[in-house]
Structure 1
Amino acid sequence: MEAFLVSTSIVALAEMGDKTQLLSLVLAARFRRPWPIVAGIFVATLFNHMLAGAVGAWVTTVLGPQALRWGLGLSFIAMAAWMLIPDKLDEDDTASAAPRLGVFGATALAFFLAEMGDKTQIATIVLAAQYDAYLWVVAGTTLGMMLANAPVVWLGERITRRVPIRAVHGVSAAIFLVLGVMTLLAPALA
């Protein structure tokens, strides 16, 4: 259960102000059909995070415990630094896919591609490597993405004007930093 709760909260916080959250806002403004947009976000996130979780679980079979501990600790610290860099959405991320694929298809494709190499995908890999609970991590990171993106689809700009994105990024960075330091110091704390 810890893997689920940590994964949910980390990804929900990491997603605030992320390019995929901005993509949610753009898709909502462009199509004005929230249900297929949210369904597309869910499907894309689920597939993306299942792949990322599988990579994270695989890493644990390749690396020894010391290398894994150092890799995870440093990855968490790198994520902390990355959280402090604001994301922006490229204008052409959704333009070419929408007409032929419909709202659901355009959303699913755009979201899946936007998540490739993104903070939350990397976080899913790291969390799956940290916890021996693949399904709980994928379920948690997917829920975290939905918690951050679905309200944006329905409430749009009202949320983004009221949520202090810089503060959310700071809290997320602090959480990743603490996780990284705790991971690196784990043998000393035991």
Structure 2
Amino acid sequence: MDAFLVSILAVTVGEIGDKTQLLALLLAARYRKPIPIVAGILVATLANHGLAGLFGHWIVSHFSAEVLRWALGLSFLAIAAWTLKPDDIDDTKVEEGKYGVFLLTCVTFFLAEIGDKTQVATVALAAKYSELYLVVAGTTIGMLIADVPAVFLGKVASPNFPFKLVRWIAAAVFAVLGILVLLAKF
């Protein structure tokens, strides 16, 4: 159960103010079709984090426990630092095309997540925990917890949301995880 809860927490706080959350705001404001956008986020996240989780498991089978502990601890500290840098996306026009908002959301979210801090966190969590399905389920739920409100609230709530404070809290969570891993307490 730790894998599930830690995965939810790490990705929920890591996603606040992230470029994919900003993408959710942009798509919601542009198309005003929340259900296909949320469904697209779900499918894209399951695919992206599923692959990231598999990569994390592959890493475990190819490196020693000591190397993994240091890599995991340092990666959590790097994610903490990365979290402090605000993400932005340019406000270019995103075209729906002939395939619809659902497919547009799937493709753009999948691509935007590649190399993103929440994907890196998923790799690290999958390397830490053996329960791949709990990690992927947790990171996916964390992504939805952060992004679904953005879809339904659109631009109305975004100017008033304390992104900077949440970034600092997220950075602190990742830093604590990193220190605990390096001290072999996690």
| TM-score normalised by the chain length of structure 1 | 0.94
> What's the TM-score once normalised by structure 2's chain length?
0.96
Runs of 4+, deviation exceeding 4 Å: none
The Cα shift of 1:163 comes to: 2.4
Aligned residues: 186
Following the alignment from structure 1 to structure 2, what is the Cα–Cα distance between the partners of residues 157 and 16?
Answer: 15
| Aligned position for 2:176 | 178
**For 1:151 and 1:180, how far apart are their aligned partners in 2?**
29
Residue 2 of structure 2 corresponds to which residue in structure 1? Answer: 2
Structure 1 stretches of 5 or more lacking a match? none
Q: Aligned to 2:128, which of 109, 127, 130?
A: 130
Q: Does the residue aligned with 1:177 lie in a helix, a strand or coil?
A: helix
Equivalent residue, structure 1, for 2:94: 95
Give 2:179's aligned amino acid: V
Q: Which position in structure 2 is the counterpart of 1:15?
A: 15
AA of the residue aligned to 1:27:
L
Residue 60 of structure 1 corresponds to which residue in structure 2?
60
Shift of 1:100: 2.3
Partner Cα separation in structure 1 for residue 177 and residue 149 of structure 2? 27
Q: Identify unmatched segments of 5+ residues in structure 2.
A: none
Q: Percent identity?
A: 53
Q: Distance in 2 between matches of 1:56 and 1:30?
A: 35
Counterpart CA distance in 2 for 1:159 and 1:125 is 31
Query: What are the Cα deviations for residues 55-108 of structure 1, in whole angstroms up to 9, with x where unaligned?
Result: 01110001101100000010000000000000011344x735x21221100011
Residue number among 142, 145, 150 corresponding to 1:144 in the alignment: 142
RMSD, aligned α-carbons: 1.4
- Distance, in Å, in 2 between the alignment partners of 1:122 and 1:169 is 16
Q: Deviations over 1:127-163 (max 9, x none)?
A: 1101111000000000000000011111122332332
